Chain A
Amino acid sequence: MADKTIKDVEFGEELPVFVPDTSLKRASVFASLVGWEGPRFSDHEKAREEGLPGAMVPGILNQGYLTAMIHQWAPNSTLISIDTIFRAPVMADEEHTMKAIVTDIDEEAQIVELDLTLANEKNETRVLGTARIKIAS
């Protein structure tokens, strides 16, 4: 994607759908990197023994994917804030998709607001959120 200016952005515009890597391997490697070793992010069977439905993708990895999706759409944008609500677990080894839509544009302040969702194959929203980004004129 090429760099954008604020004038390139349209209200209601949908960002290209992003398919995150929700594999158990990726979840496990990421959890290790941030010091969250444990079966809930690395082993389905042991996670079930802990009363979980299976191993999950760490919430901050999902937040990182949402930010990467924004950067792929607008490489020159600067994230001002992102707020994500973890409505339900994102299960590892299940396919998910991420979507975002432009919900507000402040041309003077050069700020764009986005609504974000991450859903599973049943189209159940697992994570939702909002982001504010700055894009130069």
Chain B
Amino acid sequence: METDIEELRAKYLKKDFDVKEFPIIAEKTIRFAELCGETADRFLDPNHKDFQASPTFVGSLAGSRLLPSDFPRFGIGMDAGKGIECFSPVIPGSVLTGKTHLHDIYAKTGRSGRMIFIITRIEFYNSERHLANSDSRIVIAEKQNGR
């Protein structure tokens, strides 16, 4: 691994740089599920015994910032993917705390130069437990020769 990437990993990985609270509103989780094409009552009916947000809903919850404030600027980032891990259902009416850190940083070099991949993870907690993770994968085409 290149030295500069190793330095970034040592400086930034696994260190929370943002904490934000997210009230989970039933009307919004229901509309989210409807628009995604979910048909199960547990996502659509607030009176269902297992009423919950659809599992990818947490992917719509954004922290106050995607990268640490002092993270170096390599170029313009593009949205390269999303990942969700679910440990327990997210219940509408609750308030989640989202803690954001950089989960991974790595580079790939191709014919057009080096691409830097950054995975920002938000860990979601309620008052009792860790409920879910939401990963955002950003890819940055490194500027070549100052361009």
Chain A residues within 8 Å of B, Cβ to Cβ? 18, 20-21, 26, 29-30, 33-35, 59-61, 63-65, 67-69, 71-72, 75, 78-86, 129
Let me know if B10 is at the binding interface, CB within 8 A. Answer: no
Q: Is B40 within 8 A of A86, CB to CB?
A: no
Given A26, A75, A80, A82, which contacts B40 in the complex, CB threshold below 8 Å?
A: A75
Most chain A CB within 10 A, of B38, B56, B80, is at: B56
Let me know if B17 is at the binding interface, CB within 8 A. Answer: no
Chain B residues within 8 Å of A, Cβ to Cβ? 28, 31-33, 35-40, 54-56, 59-60, 62, 79-86, 135, 137
**Nearest-CB distance from B35 to chain A (Å)?**
5
Q: How far is the CA of A41 from the CA of B79 in the complex (A)?
A: 14
- Contact sample, A vs B, 27 pairs, CB 8 Å cutoff: A34-B32, A35-B60, A59-B79, A60-B59, A61-B35, A63-B82, A64-B32, A64-B36, A64-B38, A64-B54, A67-B54, A67-B55, A68-B36, A68-B38, A71-B39, A71-B40, A72-B37, A72-B39, A75-B40, A79-B56, A79-B84, A81-B84, A82-B83, A83-B81, A83-B83, A85-B80, A129-B81
